[in-house]
């Protein structure tokens, strides 16, 4: 069964460093999302992406964040200058039609 | 803005028993989707069940069923014959109808299954 994959599973970085989180959505899906979950809290929406552009972004998704779909398969989230409060689990999700989003296993980001 | 409320931070159930997790939501939309996601300790988000708001019939997936009360904006999850593997965080989520609409999650309910 097709699935969303994410790499790396765990990323440790120093405050102020840039990180790129990678996702490979399910191949025929059209809509792509990033969510994050700070430990012990609910899952929060960051950004949605369709037709090679951002559809919606949350207040969390400030100028330090960017997304790209550089080729036909990858979908990346870049954080330019990480802060301690960026430590969280980051989930990528993709969707074909208008029903359900399929989530990847997540990348745990630790900012020291 | 849409909100999702899960009023039970934690629930416990005996193995083989039935448990119901509560969820309420607030929206002015008439067409939308509701979901229950399971998050085990691995933190993977797994879709349990989905309900389309236009459908009056409650969704069922094996041991999992929902009680969808549209007028009351209530969407509870019933787990029958609970198993040890059901132990996890359960998140209720709402999504407006539309292509790129985001999921709005509740804070979750931690379910413990006692042997």
pLDDT for A53? 92
Count of A-B CB contacts under 8 Å: 62
The answer, for B11 touching chain A at a CB cutoff of 8 Å, is no
The answer, for B3 touching chain A at a CB cutoff of 8 Å, is no
- Cβ-nearest to B100 among A43, A55, A106: A55
The answer, for B91 touching chain A at a CB cutoff of 8 Å, is yes
Assess whether the previous peptide bond of A8 is cis (omega < 30° from 0): yes
Contacts of B36 in chain A (CB under 8 A): none
The H-or-E segment that residue A32 falls in is strand A31-37
* B74-101: average pLDDT: 93
- Residues above pLDDT 70, as percent of chain A: 99
Strands A75-79 and B60-61: unpaired
* B20-44: average pLDDT: 93
Q: Which residue has the tokens 């790396």?
A: A8
pLDDT for A2? 81
Contacts of A75 in chain B (CB under 8 A): none
- B112/A4 Cα distance (integer angstroms): 28
Cβ of A106 within 8 Å of Cβ of B91? The answer is no
The answer, for A31 touching chain B at a CB cutoff of 8 Å, is yes
pLDDT for A98? 65
Look at residue B44 and tell me whether its pLDDT is greater than 80.
yes
- Cβ-nearest to B44 among A31, A33, A106: A106
For residue B35 the two structure tokens come to 């979901």
Average pLDDT, chain A: 93
The answer, for B98 touching chain A at a CB cutoff of 8 Å, is yes
Closest residue, chain A, to B53 (C-alpha): A99
* A61-69: average pLDDT: 94
């Amino acid at each position: 069964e097709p699935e969303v994959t994410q790499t790396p599973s765990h990323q440790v970085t120093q405050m102020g460093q840039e990180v790129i989180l990678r996702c490979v959505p399910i191949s025929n899906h059209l809509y792509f999302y990033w969510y994050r979950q700070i430990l012990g809290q609910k899952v929060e929406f960051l950004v949605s992406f369709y037709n090679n552009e951002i559809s919606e972004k949350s207040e969390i998704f400030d100028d330090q964040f960017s997304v790209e779909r550089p080729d036909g398969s990858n979908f990346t989230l870049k954080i330019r200058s990480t802060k301690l409060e960026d430590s969280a689990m980051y989930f990528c999700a993709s969707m074909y039609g208008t029903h359900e989003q399929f989530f990847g296993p997540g990348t745990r980001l630790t900012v020291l | 803005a849409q909100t999702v409320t899960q009023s039970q931070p934690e629930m416990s159930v005996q193995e083989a028993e039935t448990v119901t997790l509560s969820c309420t939501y607030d929206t002015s939309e008439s067409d939308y989707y509701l979901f229950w996601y399971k998050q085990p300790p691995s933190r993977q988000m797994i879709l349990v069940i989905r309900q389309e708001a236009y459908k009056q019939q409650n969704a069922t997936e094996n041991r999992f069923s929902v009680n969808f009360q549209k007028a009351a904006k209530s969407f509870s999850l019933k787990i029958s014959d609970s198993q040890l593997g059901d132990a996890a965080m359960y998140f209720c989520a709402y999504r407006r109808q539309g292509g790129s609409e985001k999921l709005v999650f509740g804070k979750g309910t931690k379910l413990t299954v006692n042997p």
